[in-house]
Amino acid sequence: MAGTAERMASNQKQVAISEFFEKNKHFLGFDSLPRSLITAVKEAVDNSLDACEEARILPEIKIQITKLDGKKDIIELRSEDNGPGIPKKSIEKVFGQLLFGSRFHAIRQSRGQQGIGITGVVMYCQLTTGRKTHVRSKIATETSAAIVDIGLDTRKNKATKSGEGRELWELPDGTLKEHGLEITAQMKAKYQRGRQSVYQYLRMTSIVNPHADITFIDPDGETHHWPRVTERLPRKVESIKPHPHGIHLGTLQRMCTESTDSRMTVFLRNNFSGVSSRAAKELLAAAEIEEKAKPKLLKADHYRALLEAFQGERMLNNKPVKLLNPPTNCLSPIEELLIKKGLSKTIDSRYVTTMTRAPTVTQGNPYQVEVGLIFGDGMAADKPVEVLRFANRVPLMYQQGGCLLTKAIESVDWRQYGLDQAGGRGVPKGPAAILVHLASTNVQFTSEAKEALADNAEVIDEVRKALLEMGRGLRKHLEKKKKMAKTQDKFELVNDIIPAIAEKAAAILDRPVPNLSGSITRIMGAVISEATTVWNKETKQTDVTITLFNYTTRARSYTLLASWPERAGATMVKNEQGGRKEASGVWAWKLDTLEPGQTITFTYSLTGLERGDWTDTDLFYRGSQEVIGASKMDEKLLEEIRRQEAAANGEDEPADDEPVDDGEEAEPTAAQGSEINADPPAKTGQQTLMGFGGDE
Amino acid sequence: MMSAMHTSEETKTALHAVVEEMYDKIVKGEPPTMTLPVRTKNNIGFDSKLGVYKYGKKRSTRDATSLGSAKQLLRALHVVEFIEEMIDAGKSSTLREMYYISEAWGLGKFSSQNESNNLAEDLEVVTKCMREDFKLRPEEDGARMIGNLTLRERNRRGEWMRINARDDVGDSGYGVPYNVEEEKIELLEHDINFIMAIETGGMFDRLIENGFDEDYKCGLLHLKGQPARSTRRIMKRMSEEWDLPVVVFLDGDPWSFRIFASIAYGAIKTAHISEYLATPSATYLGITADDIEAYDLPSDDLSTRDVDALKAELSDPRFADPWWQEQINMMLELGKKAEQQSLAKYGLDFVTDTYLPEKLADLGLA
C-alpha cells in the first residue's frame, strides 16, 4: 500500500506540474485572489490540527496576515503551531512534493484526505510572487530549530531548497519553543471580510475543534482569539480495512494481485472489515470461487463475480450474504457538549441544542452525523439562518447550494419548529445558525474542489432525522419561552402595575391605598412557579432559586420536583429546605400547606459543573391544582428513570432501551424525561442532551 | 349658545369619576376597570335633537387582567394627575409634550405618541370634557380666515384684541388659534352673507387675489385638508352665532367627501363632541361628480383605494341621504376624480367669474 502515493505522484509527473496546477487551480482552491488566501490558511491549519492530533498535543495555532503591497495584492501569511514539528530531512518531502502524505491511502477520517495540501501553497507562492516559502521546524529532541526556504521544481515535482540552517527559536517571553512549525509564505491574494473570509474559516474551525486555541491577527493588526473550551483531544482515529460494500473493481483487483495470502478465505478475512470466516465462505460460494484459490491467481471474471457477491447481487440460497458493518470507532465525532461549547463560544446567544447521531454505514463507509442549532438575540431575524457546514471537522465555505448538507436542511419544514420558511422549503429564516457535521472515512464530494458533499439518500435521511429531532427541541424551547413570557407578564402585572394603579388612584382621590389581595387573586387565580438558574462567578457554582406563589383563594398542598444534572457529576449544596431524592436527577420537596397569598422559596447550588453546563431547571409538581411554570409529574416516566438507574447500578452497560421517546415528544414531560435520562456522553448509543441547559 | 367648555371643577370631578371607578373595583376585590364607548363606524348614530352623529350605546370595558390594558389604566391615572396639575398651575401642553413628559412616569410611560393621543381622546369620551378642558393642545395648527368680520381675541397677556379679518391682517389672513372657546374668542360683528370653507391653500389664495371675498361679501376659511378641531369649532360658532350659511368648496374625490362629512355631521373619532364641532347646515358646493362632466374638467382615474373609500362611504350612515348616494355612485361610474384647481383649465378667473357664481346661484347665495 505504501507504494500507492508514490506511484500516483509519478503518474502526475508526466504532465508539467505547473501546467497541471494552472489547469486545475479551481479544484485546488486557488481560482480567485480571496479564495487563494483562504485555501492557504486552510492547508496550514489542517496540517497543524492533524499533526497535533496524531501527536496528542492540544493545538495552539496562530495565523497572521500582513499586506505587503496593497496595489499588487501581495500578502504575507504566517502560520505557527505547537505541533510535533517535522524532522529536518522530511521537510522538503512534506512541503515539496505533490500527493505526498500518509493520509492519502489509509481509510480513516482525516481532514485533507489528499496530499495536495501545503505543497499547493508552496507552488502558488512560487508561481505568483517567485518567492520561496520559509519554514521553521522544531522537534522536541533537538535543541535548535531547522530553517529552510522551500520552492518547487515543477518539472521534476521535487522541492528546491535554499537558506538551510539551524537557529534557536526564541519566543516573545524569552524562552525557547519546545516544538512546533512555522510557515511564512508570500503570495498574490486578497484579504476579504464576510461569509467567505479567513476570519469566518477560522471561526468555523474553532467551533468544530473545541480543543484548539486559535489566534488570528488580521491585516489591520486586530487580534481575534478563539480560546480552547475543552482539554479533551479528539479520540484517536483508528485506521480500518475497507468494507466489501464500499470497494471498487480496480481496488479489488489490485488488492488481489498484491496479496501474498495463500487462500481466498484468509485473504477476505484479513483484508476486509465486516467479513467473518462464515461470511468469507459464503461470499466465495456465491461468487463460485474455490475457498482454496490463491488470490494472486484470480481471473478477471472472478473479480467481477466476487464484487457482485460483495454487493449482494450474486446471492446464496436467494439471499445476499450477510456482512457485519464496519467498525465505527474509526470516526471521531465532536460530540454534543463540545459542539455546544464551540457554538456558544463564537456566537453569543441564548439557546443551543446539539445532537450526535449514532454512527452508521453507507456503501461500506462508516459515517456519523452531528448537528447543532443556536437560536436567539444578536442574529438577524429576517435573514436566512447561517448554515455552518463541516466534513471531518473541516469547514465548507463554498457551493452551499449544491451541498447535501444544505439540501437536508432545506428538506425540513422548519415552520413547525418556529422558524420562517417560505412554502416550507429552502433555507429557513430566523435568528439562528444551523451546524451540520459529517464525519466519515470516505467523504464523497461533488468535485475535487471539496466544498460540497455529493448526494447520498441514506446520508441525507440521517441528517434530516438529526435536524428533525433538533427542531423539536427548538419548538419546545420557543413554547417554553412563550409560556415564561406570559408568566413574567402576570408577575409584572400583579407585582408592579396593580400596586401602582392603587397608589396613584388613592393619591389622586386623597384616600387610603386599598388592600390589593382580592384584586390580585381575581387576576391570577393560579399557583405560579418560577425557577432561575444562574452561574455564580464568585463561588463557581450554579445557583438555583425556585419560587412558588399561591395566588388562589384556597390553601394548597403540593410536592414540587426539580431536575438537576446529577448524572453529569453535579453535587447539590446549600439546600436548606432539604427535600429528598426522588430519582436520579430529580429532587423533591413536599409542601403540606401553601396558604392563599403565600410565597415559598427554595434555593440550592450545584457544584462540579462548568459555566454553561446547566442553565435551565425544569419544574414538576404533584397535586390537584395546576401550577403555572411547572409540568405535572409523569409517574410512569419516574418509574422508568428508577428502573434505568437500577439497571445501571446492576451492570456496566446502561439499560439498552431508550427512555420514553416515541419520536413525537409533543408532551413536554416526555421531553424532560429524555433529558433526565441522558446517557453520559461518549457512549455509542443515541444521545439526547436536548435542552440540557439552553435558556439562561 | 351652549358652551363647550367646562369649569375646572367640573373637569376635575369628571376625571375623578374615572379614577373612582378603578379605586372602587380594587376595594371590592376586583380588577380595576375603565368603561368607555366603542369608537368605530358601527357605533355612531344620528342624534335628531342635535342634528349630528354621536356615539351609540355600545360600551367596552378595559380591565386590568392583562398587562397591556393594566398599563393603559395606569397611564390614564398619570394623565389625570398631569391634567390636574396643569389646571392648577394655569398651564397647557401639547400632546407631544405630554408624550415626552410621560418618560418620567416609570411603568406608566407611553411607548408611542399614538398611544398618548388615543388616551387623551379616551378621557374626553369618558368624561364628556374637551381636550381644551384638559389643557392639551394638538400639534396641527388651525385654519386661516379672511373677510369682513370682526372678533376679539384674548392674547397671552390676557388683554382683549379687536381684529378685523380683512383690514387688520396681511395676505395670509387671520390665524385661528387652537382654543376658540368664548374665554378666548368673542365674535363681534360682520358684513358678510356666507362663509366659504376651502380645501387647498392654492384655491384660497386664488380667491383672495381675485377679490372674491369682497365681490361676494363672504368670509373665506382655509381648511388645510382634514380640518383641525378649532377650525370646525369656529365655523360652527360663526354659523350659529351669526346665523350664516356655510358652503364647502373641496376637491372632487372620496376623501373630500369625508372632509365634508366631518364638517357637517361630525367625525367618527370625535363623535363624542360632534354637537360642538359639526355644522349640520353646511352645504357641499363642489367639486361634485357631475361637475366633472358638466365642466369637462381635467381628471384622474380613481385608484383602487379611492374605489374602496367610495364603497365604504355608501354604507356610512352619514352619507345615507339620496343626494350623496347619487354623487358617490356617479363618481364610481365615471371612475374619475378632479381637483379644485383643475378649473384653471379655463383661465385663472374662471373659478371666480363663472364656476362659483353659477354654483352659488343654485343655492341662492349669488
Taking CA atoms, what residue in B is nearest to A502? B23
Taking CA atoms, what residue in A is nearest to B26? A519
Amino acid identity for residue A639 in this structure = E
For residue A510, which residues of chain B lie inside 8 Å, CB to CB? none
Residues shown for chain B: 366
Q: Which helix (H) or strand (E) holds A10?
A: helix A3-13
What number of CA atoms fall less than 13 Å from residue A545's CA on the CB side?
9
- H helices of chain B, in order, are 8-27, 67-89, 95-101, 113-127, 201-209, 212-215, 229-241, 254-264, 274-277, 289-294, 304-314, 322-334, 350, 356-363
The percentage of residues in chain B with a pLDDT greater than 90, rounded to a whole number, is 51
Task: Please tell me the distance from the alpha carbon of residue A175 to that of residue A179, in angstroms, as a whole number.
Answer: 12
Give the model's pLDDT for residue A480: 80
The pTM score is 0.62
Q: What single-letter DSSP state applies at residue A194?
A: S
Task: Please tell me the distance from the alpha carbon of residue B256 to that of residue B319, in angstroms, as a whole number.
Answer: 13
Residue A688 has pLDDT above 70, yes or no: no
Query: Which tens digits make up the pLDDT trace of B114-129?
Result: 888 888 888 988 888 8
Query: Which tens digits make up the pLDDT trace of B317-334?
Result: 888 889 999 999 999 999
Q: Which three cell numbers stand for residue B236?
A: 360652527
Task: Please tell me the distance from the alpha carbon of residue A354 to that of residue A471, in angstroms, as a whole number.
Answer: 10
For residues A419-431, average pLDDT = 87
Taking CA atoms, what residue in A is nearest to B76? A501
Residue A671 has pLDDT above 70, yes or no: no
Task: Please tell me the distance from the alpha carbon of residue B60 to that of residue B125, in angstroms, as a whole number.
Answer: 12
**Active site (catalytic) residues of B:** 100
Task: Please tell me the distance from the alpha carbon of residue A581 to that of residue B166, in angstroms, as a whole number.
Answer: 93
Pairing of β B246-249 and β B194-198? parallel
User: CB–CB of A505 and B66 under 8 A?
Assistant: no
Q: How far is A695 from chain B (nearest CA, A)?
A: 24
Residue A663 has pLDDT above 50, yes or no: no
Per the CB < 8 A criterion, the answer to whether A118 and A43 are in contact is yes
Whether residue A485 lies within 8 A of chain B, CB to CB, comes out as no
Per the CB < 8 A criterion, the answer to whether B225 and B231 are in contact is no
Per the CB < 8 A criterion, the answer to whether B285 and B196 are in contact is yes
Q: How far is A503 from chain B (nearest CA, A)?
A: 9
Pairing of β A526-536 and β A627-628? parallel
Taking CA atoms, what residue in B is nearest to A516? B26
Give the model's pLDDT for residue A103: 37
Give the model's pLDDT for residue B76: 93
User: In which band, very low, low, confident or very high, does the pLDDT at A695 lie, cut at 50, 70 and 90?
Assistant: very low
Between the alpha carbon of residue A150 and those of residues A67, A673, B193, the distances in Å are 21, 59, 105
Give the model's pLDDT for residue A664: 36
Which residues, including other chains, have CB under 8 Å from residue A640's CB and lie 6 or more apart?
Answer: A659, A660, A673, A677
Interface predicted TM-score (ipTM):
0.73
Query: Which tens digits make up the pLDDT trace of B253-307?
Result: 999 999 999 999 888 878 888 888 899 889 999 899 999 989 999 999 999 999 9
Residue A64 pairs in a beta bridge with A78, A217
Q: How far is B203 from chain A (nearest CA, A)?
A: 47
Per the CB < 8 A criterion, the answer to whether B232 and B262 are in contact is yes
Give the model's pLDDT for residue A111: 56
Amino acid identity for residue A316 in this structure = L
Residue A674 has pLDDT above 50, yes or no: no
Task: Please tell me the distance from the alpha carbon of residue A673 to that of residue A654, in angstroms, as a whole number.
Answer: 16
Query: Which tens digits make up the pLDDT trace of B220-240?
Result: 999 887 888 889 999 999 999
Amino acid identity for residue A527 in this structure = V
Instruction: Give me Rg for the CA atoms of chain B.
Output: 22
Domains and CATH numbers, chain A: 17-226 (3.30.565.10), 244-310 (1.10.8.50), 348-476 (3.30.230.10), 517-673 (2.60.40.290)
Task: Please tell me the distance from the alpha carbon of residue B156 to that of residue B143, in angstroms, as a whole number.
Answer: 19
Q: How far is A600 from chain B (nearest CA, A)?
A: 24
Whether residue A171 lies within 8 A of chain B, CB to CB, comes out as no
Task: Please tell me the distance from the alpha carbon of residue A164 to that of residue A174, in angstroms, as a whole number.
Answer: 24
Give φ, ψ of B236 to 5 degrees.
Answer: -60, -45
Task: Please tell me the distance from the alpha carbon of residue A529 to that of residue A515, in angstroms, as a whole number.
Answer: 24
Give the model's pLDDT for residue A8: 47
**In whole numbers, what is the pLDDT of chain B averaged over residues?**
89
CB atoms inside a 10 Å sphere around CB A578: 10
A68 compared with A484, residue with greater pLDDT: A68
Per the CB < 8 A criterion, the answer to whether B58 and B37 are in contact is yes
Q: How far is A497 from chain B (nearest CA, A)?
A: 7
Residue A690 has pLDDT above 70, yes or no: no
Give the model's pLDDT for residue A1: 43
Amino acid identity for residue A83 in this structure = G
Q: Which three cell numbers stand for residue A541?
A: 457554582
* Chain A interface disruption, residue of B33, B66, B67, most A CBs within 10 A: B67
Give the model's pLDDT for residue B64: 87
Which residues, including other chains, have CB under 8 Å from residue A564's CB and lie 6 or more apart?
Answer: A544, A570, A572, A585, A586, A587, A606, A614, A617
For residue A496, which residues of chain B lie inside 8 Å, CB to CB? 107
Q: How far is A574 from chain B (nearest CA, A)?
A: 36
Taking CA atoms, what residue in A is nearest to B70? A497
For residue B77, which residues of chain A lie inside 8 Å, CB to CB? 501, 504-505, 508
Residues of B with CB under 8 A from a CB of A: 16, 19-20, 22-23, 25-32, 64-67, 70-71, 73-74, 77-78, 80-81, 84, 106-108
Give the model's pLDDT for residue A16: 60
Query: Cell numbers 488481489 correspond to what residue?
Result: A256
User: CB–CB of B32 and A506 under 8 A?
Assistant: no
For residue B75, which residues of chain A lie inside 8 Å, CB to CB? none
For residue A502, which residues of chain B lie inside 8 Å, CB to CB? 23, 26, 32
Query: Which tens digits make up the pLDDT trace of A292-315?
Result: 888 888 888 888 888 888 888 888
Give the model's pLDDT for residue A535: 85
Residue A130 has pLDDT above 60, yes or no: yes
Give the model's pLDDT for residue B301: 92
Q: How far is A491 from chain B (nearest CA, A)?
A: 9
Query: Which tens digits make up the pLDDT trace of A242-251?
Result: 888 888 888 8
Whether residue A510 lies within 8 A of chain B, CB to CB, comes out as no
Q: Which three cell numbers stand for residue B322?
A: 339620496
Residue B41 has pLDDT above 80, yes or no: no
User: In which band, very low, low, confident or very high, does the pLDDT at A63 lie, cut at 50, 70 and 90?
Assistant: very high
Whether residue A494 lies within 8 A of chain B, CB to CB, comes out as no
Query: Which tens digits make up the pLDDT trace of A205-241?
Result: 998 888 999 999 999 999 999 998 888 888 766 677 8
For residue A517, which residues of chain B lie inside 8 Å, CB to CB? 29
Task: Please tell me the distance from the alpha carbon of residue A408 to that of residue B11, in angstroms, as a whole number.
Answer: 67
Query: Cell numbers 520552492 correspond to what residue?
Result: A151
User: CB–CB of A500 and B108 under 8 A?
Assistant: yes
For residue B25, which residues of chain A lie inside 8 Å, CB to CB? 519
For residue B88, which residues of chain A lie inside 8 Å, CB to CB? none
User: CB–CB of B74 and A522 under 8 A?
Assistant: no
For residues A589-600, average pLDDT = 87
For residue A501, which residues of chain B lie inside 8 Å, CB to CB? 22, 26, 32, 64, 70, 73-74, 77
Which residues, including other chains, have CB under 8 Å from residue A235's CB and lie 6 or more apart?
Answer: A329, A332
Query: Cell numbers 431547571 correspond to what residue?
Result: A617
User: CB–CB of A489 and B30 under 8 A?
Assistant: no
Please name which of A470, A462, A474, A179 lies closest in space to residue A331, comparing C-alpha atoms.
Answer: A462
User: CB–CB of B66 and A489 under 8 A?
Assistant: yes
User: In which band, very low, low, confident or very high, does the pLDDT at B141 lie, cut at 50, 70 and 90?
Assistant: low
Task: Please tell me the distance from the alpha carbon of residue B335 to that of residue B292, in angstroms, as a whole number.
Answer: 11
A96 compared with B169, residue with greater pLDDT: B169
Among candidates A489, A498, A508 on the partner chain, residue whose Cβ is nearest the Cβ of B81: A508
Give the model's pLDDT for residue A346: 59
Whether residue A505 lies within 8 A of chain B, CB to CB, comes out as yes
Residue A694 has pLDDT above 90, yes or no: no
Least confident of A630-634, B2-6, B256-260: B2-6
Whether residue A502 lies within 8 A of chain B, CB to CB, comes out as yes
CB crowding A329-357: b at 16 or more within 10 Å, else e: ebbbbbbbbbbbbbbbbbbebbbbbbbbb
A575 compared with A114, residue with greater pLDDT: A575
Among candidates B23, B25, B78 on the partner chain, residue whose Cβ is nearest the Cβ of A506: B23
Q: Which three cell numbers stand for residue A386?
A: 447561517
Instruction: Give me Rg for the CA atoms of chain A.
Output: 30
Whether residue A596 lies within 8 A of chain B, CB to CB, comes out as no
User: CB–CB of B74 and A501 under 8 A?
Assistant: yes
Between chain A and chain B, how many beta carbons pairs sit less than 8 Å apart?
83
For residue B26, which residues of chain A lie inside 8 Å, CB to CB? 498, 501-502, 505, 514, 516, 518-519
Residue A104 has pLDDT above 70, yes or no: no
Residue B147 has pLDDT above 80, yes or no: yes
Which residues, including other chains, have CB under 8 Å from residue A646's CB and lie 6 or more apart?
Answer: none
For residue B28, which residues of chain A lie inside 8 Å, CB to CB? 518
Per the CB < 8 A criterion, the answer to whether B334 and B294 are in contact is no
Q: How far is A502 from chain B (nearest CA, A)?
A: 7
Whether residue A493 lies within 8 A of chain B, CB to CB, comes out as yes
Residue A142 has pLDDT above 70, yes or no: yes
Which residues, including other chains, have CB under 8 Å from residue A85's CB and lie 6 or more apart?
Answer: A137, A138, A139, A140, A145, A179, A180, A181
Query: Which tens digits make up the pLDDT trace of A1-46?
Result: 444 445 444 444 445 666 777 777 777 788 889 999 999 999 899 8
Least confident of A255-269, B84-98, B131-145, B309-323: B131-145
Per the CB < 8 A criterion, the answer to whether B142 and B177 are in contact is yes
Q: Is the dihedral of CA A252, A256, A260, A264 positive or negative?
A: positive
User: CB–CB of B22 and A506 under 8 A?
Assistant: no
Give the model's pLDDT for residue A678: 34
Please name which of A115, A107, A114, A110 lies closest in space to residue A363, comparing C-alpha atoms.
Answer: A107
